[in-house]
Amino acid sequence: MKTEFVKAKAIFLNPRERISTGSGRLDALIAGIEQGTIYLFYGDQEPLVRLMQFLAIENLRKTTSPTLIITTIDYHDGLVLDVYDLAYTAVQLGLDPEYALKNIYVINVFNRRQATALRDILKFVEDKGIRLIVVWGLTRLFSYEHYPVLIKFLSLLKELQSQAAVVIFSEGLKNGTPPKPAGPIFLRHFPNVLVYFRRSKRFKKLVRAFLVKHPYRSQGVVEVFLDFHGLSDR
C-alpha cells in the first residue's frame, strides 16, 4: 500500500474546518476559527459579546453541530446570555431561532469548585458532536490566590481541544499597546491564538482587532465594525 503524506499547511487551511468570525478582514488576519485550536479574545466588552453570539450561531450554520458555552459569571451579576440577541442573530443568519436555541448548550460555572469538576464535559462533547466550545468571562472567577485552580480548569479545556475549537473570552488590562489579557502571565501563553479588541472612542461602531499571537500568522491589525449581530467589514 502506498503511503501518502499531507502537508500540515493543507490541514490547517482547509476552509471546511473553519468557522467565520463574520468579518472577512478578521478571518484573513487569524485564518478563521479552526478545530483543534484554542483562542483567547479579550478587550472591550461590546465587540466580544457580539462576536461570541455570532460564533455560537455561525457554528450551527457552518457545521450543523451544537455549540457549548461555558460561563464563569455568577448569575447574581446579571444576565449571562441574552437569549433574545441569540435568537435575533439566528434569524439574521437564516436559521430557525427555536432550532438554534435548542442546539446551544450552556454550562454555568458559579464557583471555583465547579471549575475543577468538569470531567463529564469531555464525554458530553463527544456524545453531542460539538465542534465549538465558548468560555465566557474566564478571569471573572479566579483571583490571584486561586490561580492553581485556574491551571486545573485550563488543563480540562486543553483536553477538549482535540474535539473542537475552544474560544475563550476575557477582559483586558488597561495599560500597554496592545494591553495584556487580565489574569496571570501563564494565561497569555495558554492559547494558540491571542487577539485584542479595542472599540474606538470617537466612532462607536469602529473596532480595531490586534493579532498578538498566532502559530503561523504574523502580528497585525485590522479595522472591523459592530453590526447588529456581530462584526462586519463595513
**How large is the average pLDDT for residues 2-6?**
40
Cell readout for 200 is: 474606538
**Structural domains of the chain in order of their starting residue, each with its CATH number:** 31-173+185-232 (3.40.50.300)
pLDDT (0 to 100) of residue 10: 38
Q: Could you give the CA distance from residue 194 to residue 169 in angstroms, rounded to a whole number? A: 10
Asked whether the predicted pLDDT for residue 224 surpasses 90, the reply is yes
Q: Collect all residues with Cβ–Cβ distance below 8 Å to 230 and sequence separation of at least 6.
A: 21, 22, 23, 50, 51, 53, 54, 58, 89
Helix H, strand E, coil C: the string for 192-230 is CEEEEEEECCCCCCEEEEEEEECCCCCCEEEEEEEECCE
Higher pLDDT, 229 or 78: 229
Cell readout for 173 is: 488590562
Angle at CA of residue 158, ends 65 and 121, nearest 5°: 50
What pTM was estimated for this model as a whole? 0.88
Omega within 30 of 0 (cis) for the link into 178: yes
pLDDT tens profile 17-56: 699 999 999 999 999 999 999 999 999 999 999 999 999 9
Distance of CA 193 to the CA centre of its chain: 10
> Is the distance from CB of 120 to CB of 105 less than 8 angstroms?
no
pLDDT (0 to 100) of residue 134: 96
pLDDT (0 to 100) of residue 8: 43
